[in-house]
């Protein structure tokens, strides 16, 4: 079995995000070049017995999630609308469609909500975690 390292992880996530975008009918136009969207150092983890789960999270106008944590690495890609988020010690900020943010293992995701009170918002969460652990726990 192939060992999952950082390079394989990033490649796998890229493939998953591309497939998700194509499934959303947002195909990349012919001739479009490579456009880096996000880069972040990853924690030094052993990923033996881990799996990847991809979850679509939809927020209606004004909706929010309770503060929470994830046991592994979560990469969130905003599909539509704007998501207001505060992760760990970082500042609270708004992410628009096409932007990405990262949650490292057990980091507090204190704010996760639709930034709009009039329009829906949606994100794709690529969650890497040890098999058998709950993907989300309320803080």
Q: Tell me the CATH number at 70.
A: 2.60.120.10
The answer to the question of residue 23 being in a domain is no
The answer to the question of residue 21 being in a domain is no
**Residues β-bridged to residue 122:** 58, 80
The helix/strand/coil state of 77 is strand
The answer to the question of residue 25 being in a domain is no
The answer to the question of residue 5 being in a domain is no
pLDDT at 88 over 80: yes
C-alpha to C-alpha distance for 53 and 33, rounded to whole angstroms: 28
Q: Which two tokens stand for residue 71?
A: 């046991």
CA atoms within 13 A on the CB side of 122: 10
Residues with Cβ within 8 Å of 63's Cβ and at least 6 positions away in sequence, in order, are 113, 114
The total of structural domains in the chain comes to 1
The answer to the question of residue 26 being in a domain is no
pLDDT at 90 over 90: yes
Taking only the tens place, the pLDDT of each residue in 109-129 is 999 999 999 999 999 999 999
The answer to the question of residue 75 being in a domain is yes
Taking only the tens place, the pLDDT of each residue in 2-34 is 455 555 555 555 555 555 544 544 555 555 677
The answer to the question of residue 112 being in a domain is yes
Range of the domain at 60: 47-138
Residue 37: predicted pLDDT: 80
pLDDT at 103 over 90: yes
Residue 42: predicted pLDDT: 78
User: Within 10 A of 64 (CB to CB), how many other CB atoms are there?
Assistant: 12
The answer to the question of residue 80 being in a domain is yes
Residue 31: predicted pLDDT: 54
pTM of the model: 0.73
**Mean pLDDT throughout 89-103?**
96
Residue 1: predicted pLDDT: 41
pLDDT at 100 over 90: yes
The helix/strand/coil state of 85 is strand
């Amino acid at each position: 079995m192939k060992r999952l390292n950082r390079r394989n992880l990033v490649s796998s996530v890229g493939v998953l995000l591309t497939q998700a975008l194509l499934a959303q009918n947002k195909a990349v136009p012919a001739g479009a070049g490579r456009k880096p969207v996000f880069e972040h150092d990853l924690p030094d983890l052993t990923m033996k017995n881990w799996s990847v789960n991809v979850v679509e999270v939809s927020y209606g106008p004004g909706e929010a999630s309770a503060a929470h944590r994830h046991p592994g690495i979560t990469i969130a890609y905003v599909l539509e609308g704007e998501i207001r988020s505060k992760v760990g010690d970082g500042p609270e900020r708004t992410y628009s469609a096409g932007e990405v943010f990262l949650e490292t293992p057990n980091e507090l995701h204190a704010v996760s909500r639709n930034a709009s009170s009039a329009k829906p918002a949606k994100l794709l969460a690529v969650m890497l975690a040890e098999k058998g652990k709950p993907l989300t726990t309320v803080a």
